[in-house]
Amino acid sequence: MDRWFICQRVAMAERIERADAARNRSAILRAAERLFAEREAEGVSIEEIARAAGVGKGTVFHRFGSRSGLIRELLAERSHALEESTRSGPPPLGPGAIPAARLNAFLDAVIAMATRNIALMAAYERSEDGRQEAAMYQTWHRHVSALITSARPDLDAELLAHILLGSLHSDLVLHLLRRGETSRLRSTLHQLVETLLGPGGAAPPSPEVSDR
């Protein structure tokens, strides 16, 4: 009876992962992380990642299914902290502050993350299964959309959320980053949020959610 419950649990939760498998998974993720950090996205092949992780190419595919799968996993890892703080962290990022302030804080956090992971974001955006469908984007979009709705139910929140998040496409961030002007993006977005949702309190320095 006990046994049955355990098996049930195991079957329902994601399949148990053997020790060596877990070790390799993290080796691969760390290798990919390193390579993506030091080189442009498109220039890193799976075979190279495998070599750097000390495993065979087949293992990478067995574990992550495809190139996009690996990138998705990597990004999910990074965005987890952000999503957690957004759901239940302290204001202004978490619940409690007024929508405009939360939105500003959230955009800042996303900018910070995108800035630290440009190559990754670029790879992600180019990954064939259109970024719009990816879980991470969906979550972000739902959050931004909800904030806009709660402050200005008369606006087309869903669409505006797409537009706001669209301004964080890695191309633009990269372009600004090359000239050390990320804060310019932040302040312009804050201004935009203000004209859309009304004054939202200047978010202080930046909430700084760690993403690694």
Partner DNA sequence: TCTCCAAATTGACCGTCGGTCCACTTACGT
Partner DNA sequence: ACGTAAGTGGACCGACGGTCAATTTGGAGA
Residues that bind its own copies (CB under 8 A): 42, 126, 128, 130-132, 155-156, 159-160, 162-163, 166-167, 169, 171-172, 174-176, 184-185, 187-188, 191-192, 195-196
Nearer to DNA, 57 or 169 (CB): 57
Rounded distance between C-alpha atoms, residue 50 and residue 59, angstroms:
8
Residue type, 70: L
132 binds, among its own copies, DNA, none (CB under 5 to 8 A by kind): its own copies
Minimum distance of its own copies from residue 171's CB (angstroms): 5
57 near DNA, rule: CB under 7 A: yes
Indicate whether 21 belongs to the interface with DNA (CB under 7 A): yes
Binding site partner of 62, from its own copies, DNA, none, Cβ cut-off 5-8 A by kind = DNA
152 exposure class (CB count in 10 Å sphere: 0-12, 13-18, 19+) = middle
Beta-carbon contacts of residue 55 (< 8 Å; ≥ 6 apart): 24, 27, 28
Contacts made by residues 136-145, CB under 8 angstroms, sequence distance 24+: 136/72, 136/75, 136/76, 136/79, 137/165, 139/79, 139/83, 140/110, 140/165, 141/165, 143/86, 143/106, 144/103, 144/106, 144/107
CB of 116 to its own copies, least distance (A): 20
Using CA atoms of 178, 180, 185, 188 in order, give the dihedral in degrees to the nearest 10.
Answer: -130
Distance CA 126, CA 176 (A): 19
Q: Say whether residue 67 binds DNA (CB under 7 A).
A: yes
Least Cβ distance, residue 120 to DNA (angstroms): 14
Q: What's the full length of the chain, in residues?
A: 212
Q: Tell me the window of 63-71, 103-111, 145-153, 197-205 that interacts with DNA (CB under 7 A).
A: 63-71
What is the smallest separation between the CB atom of 4 and DNA, expressed in angstroms?
11
Please state, in angstroms and as integers, the Cα–Cα distance from residue 15 to each residue in 4, 8, 114, 149, following that order: 15, 11, 31, 39
Residue 162 contacts which entry, DNA, its own copies, none (Cβ below 5-8 A, type-dependent): its own copies
Q: Which stretch binds DNA (CB under 7 A): 50-58, 101-109, 111-119, 172-180?
A: 50-58
Q: Residue numbers of the site for DNA (CB under 7 A)?
A: 3, 15, 17-21, 23-24, 43, 45-48, 54-59, 61-63, 65-68
